[in-house]
Amino acid sequence: MGFKYDGRGVQPTGGFSVIPDGRYVFRIVSRQDGASKAGDPQVKVFAQVAVGPYAGQTIHPHRVTFLPRDSNGAGIAVHFIKTLGEPWEGEYEVESGNWLGKLFAAFAKEDEYQGTKSTKLTTIMPLSDADKALLASAGIKLDGCRDSGFKVEVPVGEEVQDEIPF
């Protein structure tokens, strides 16, 4: 069902940055649980560049879709949560709230859809020793190491917001 809307004089806006193609360390700042168009469980991950010249830039949401285990691509979501150090083997409860503040590395690539540019994540990977050294040199303390998942230590008086950053 459609509806009428008068958009005269309204300028399109967005809260997401386009960053140059490359490898970055990202911090999960928010997430939104939902479902894909096909009805599969999906988490929209809102991430910011954690260190470097683009630190603090929030990229277009990365969607993590939990497909049925016999579907092509089902392992993509499993790889993502394993990279974060979350439970990933057997049957488990996905608690996306635990992802807040977690760090991961990824290749970012500029994408364009219907004239709008955004940054998409292509390859997700655990933090390397070089990433950990870069974070340490930037004064970011790593806490809660579980395999390859790390959580940022939030200074007293500050909170990681569990809402969409617009």
Whether 4 is covered by a domain: the verdict is no
Average pLDDT (137-144) is 77
Per-residue pLDDT tens digits for 2-57: 677 777 776 655 567 889 999 999 999 999 999 999 999 999 999 999 999 999 99
On whether the CB atoms of residues 104 and 25 are closer than 8 A, the answer is: yes
pLDDT at residue 118, rounded to an integer: 87
Task: Please state the domain count of the chain.
Answer: 1
Residue 165, pLDDT above cutoff 90 = no
Tokens 């809402």 belong to which residue?
163
Whether 87 is covered by a domain: the verdict is yes
Residue 144, pLDDT above cutoff 50 = no
Whether 103 is covered by a domain: the verdict is yes
Q: Could you tell me the residue range of the domain that residue 124 belongs to?
A: 22-152
Average pLDDT (89-107) is 93
- The SS3 assignment for 9 reads coil
CATH code assigned at 85: 2.40.50
CB within 8 A of 150, min separation 6: which ones?
85, 102, 103, 127, 132, 142, 143, 144
Tokens in use for 59?
């990229």
Whether 5 is covered by a domain: the verdict is no
Angle, vertex CA 160, rays to CA 158 and CA 162, nearest 5: 140
pTM attached to this predicted model: 0.77
On whether the CB atoms of residues 79 and 69 are closer than 8 A, the answer is: no
